[in-house]
Chains A and B, each alone.
Chain A
């Protein structure tokens, strides 16, 4: 059994002379659900890019599946849903199934065509997000919430151990966003997929996640939800640099159960 899926140790990243992340340390274990919160420009998306191996830190080490990130060849073990996913070209002529199956491109490998098993895996991923009956529909015909479920299915198709999502509900209405989050909770609980979710909806995601990381250039807090709930609004306001008020809707902390 792996001890950690992600291990960041003293990670520092600068864009030119400006410091974006400083001495970030974070460990994500199998089955954990992390909410990554912080104000705009706090370095959340940069941290995600570092986790995906798209940016190289100036200092510190990044390990995925207990290996240095540079030597991880099976990137399909990480599913990714980007902030920009639902800003795709809506006129793109593709069915939902074609989009979801594209999540298997890396896993299938170069010079190989998709097999029947790949199509089955894509259909199963659609079933996980309750979108199986939309498989043959054109992706542009779906609502924002449905499209976001399709992008989750694309990330799930390769059966990842870790799902990283960068503000996946941007542009999705409140009702669809709530049902989207409950689907994530189910995926984490029933399938044991570890999740790192970047979001601005602090109340919602901190009530949903088992762990919270609060970032604003440096890591101000990382730990279980129960410990996060003990914080007062002043702490959070200080870290955010403006007034923040938390309204918790849930009790308890599954991470400490």
Chain B
């Protein structure tokens, strides 16, 4: 793949997009997971599906949409979904988690309608569902790069507020931190990243890249900073290994990336268990 990487532009696009997504998805995912909102990523990716399917359907009907990258409507739908989730969480103050299945169902519902209306999209849709090495364009890479700059700047500037909000939302409010605006901006960025990641990882698997590396990292991290670094490391290993496997086996990268992330999680869990057993054994010997 290394030789091919220097030769083919589509591979460069996929590889570099993957590398960037491997950093920003787990970075945002850490804040989502520690707030026990992991399913938000799933809901937003399904809303993206509705946007993508809508764009693909409209491209058959309206000339303007034929020239439009479906990723834009997918991202717009995800942003709309994220704002609706925030609104619904305030409406259902005592059942905040209800907002997620409501938006997830809406995403699947609209997606199914557009797919049916268009009588299916063949390989196009499969690429969006499970990712594709060959479908990533230079334009997609540019979008992902711009988003990455936004995510880095946001997390650099609001790291302490995001940490405080994630650890203790009540305390943040009482100490006068303007959490609502930050939370809203965070959700919009998350939605954009989900929308932009679907080319490479696929709609159905993008949420996994936000949660699986984090799930492995929080098993071993003592500090929040180390949890973030480990999440990024596990995310990068998943993406690079997954892309290599997908290229050589000629299969969808979404699957190989996510399966690699699951293998990492299992290895971390096993390693932790073994470390725990040897510690208790040593303690037993001392006693």
Q: Which residues of A approach B to under 8 Å, CB–CB?
A: 52-54, 75-76, 80, 82, 84-85, 88-89, 91-95, 98-99, 101-106, 108, 110-111, 113-114, 136-138, 154
Contact = CB atoms under 8 A, between A and B. Distances in A.
B175 A93 contact: no
Contact of B176 (A84, A106, A108): A106
8 contacts: A82-B171, A88-B168, A89-B34, A92-B166, A101-B160, A104-B160, A108-B160, A114-B160
Interface string B220-260: 01111111000000000000000000000000000000000
Nearest to B222: A138
B65 interface: no
B280 to A, nearest CB: 16
B174 A105 contact: no
B221 A93 contact: yes
A80 B175 contact: yes
Interface residues of B, number: 31
A106 B223 contact: no
Contacts of B34: 89, 92-93
Given A89-B36, A94-B223, A136-B222, A102 B164 contact: yes
A93 B161 contact: no
Point out which of A84, A91, A92, A103 has the most chain B C-beta atoms below 10 A from its C-beta: A92
B134 to A, nearest CB: 38
A3 to B, nearest CB: 24
Contacts of A53: 176
B157 interface: yes
Contact of B167 (A54, A92, A113, A138): A92
Contacts, number: 83
Nearest to A141: B222
A102 B163 contact: yes
A251 to B, nearest CB: 36
B168 A80 contact: no
A102 B160 CA distance: 7
Interface in B115-148: none
Nearest to B156: A113
Given A75-B176, A102-B167, A105-B175, A110 B161 contact: yes
Contacts of A91: 218
A95 B167 CA distance: 11
Given A52-B174, A75-B175, A89-B34, A105 B161 contact: yes
B3 interface: no
Contacts of A110: 157-158, 161, 178
Interface in B8-41: 34, 36
B164 A105 contact: yes
B173 interface: yes
Point out which of A106, A111, A137 has the most chain B C-beta atoms below 10 A from its C-beta: A106
Contacts of B168: 82, 85, 88, 102
Contacts of A93: 34, 217-218, 221-224, 226-227
Contacts of B5: none
Nearest to B220: A93
B171 A85 contact: yes
Interface string B182-220: 000000000000000000000000000000000001100
Contacts of B174: 52, 54, 80, 82
Contacts of B223: 93-95, 98, 136, 138
B90 to A, nearest CB: 15
Nearest to A111: B157
A138 B161 CA distance: 20
A144 to B, nearest CB: 16
A106 B175 contact: yes
B38 to A, nearest CB: 13
Contact of A98 (B158, B170, B173, B224): B224
A108 B177 CA distance: 11
Contacts of B36: 89
Contact of A84 (B161, B166, B170, B177): B170
Given A94-B163, A105-B160, A105-B161, 5 more contacts: A76-B175, A91-B218, A93-B222, A102-B168, A137-B222
